Amino acid sequence: MDVQPTISSLTTWADEIRRSELARVESKLTDLSQEDRRLVEKLTARIVREFLREPIAQLRDIAVAPSGVEYAGLFEYLFDARRDVQ
């Protein structure tokens, strides 16, 4: 089963949440320098990547198993991973 579309959708969705949350608190971060803002941007992106690393690795592993289609479908359901990304 090709799980790359699911992975792409999930990572895009997670990054949209990250960016949305950063935008939501932007007015409270006015004292940050441009360098500090870049560091916050990198830090939050790294947190999202690390958070998703193991679930994505597991999804890739189960996709090639005999019951992979079922598990991948469950993954998509749990994370609503095939949603239309805005």
Give pairs for 77-84: CB < 8 Å, separation 24+: 79/10, 79/13, 81/6, 81/9, 81/10, 81/13, 82/5, 82/6, 82/9, 83/9, 83/13
Per-residue pLDDT of the chain (86 residues; tens, 9 = 90+): 788 888 888 899 899 999 999 999 999 989 999 999 999 999 999 999 999 999 999 989 888 888 877 877 787 788 776 555 44
* pLDDT for position 6: 83
Predicted confidence at residue 86, as pLDDT, reads 46
This prediction has a pTM of 0.79
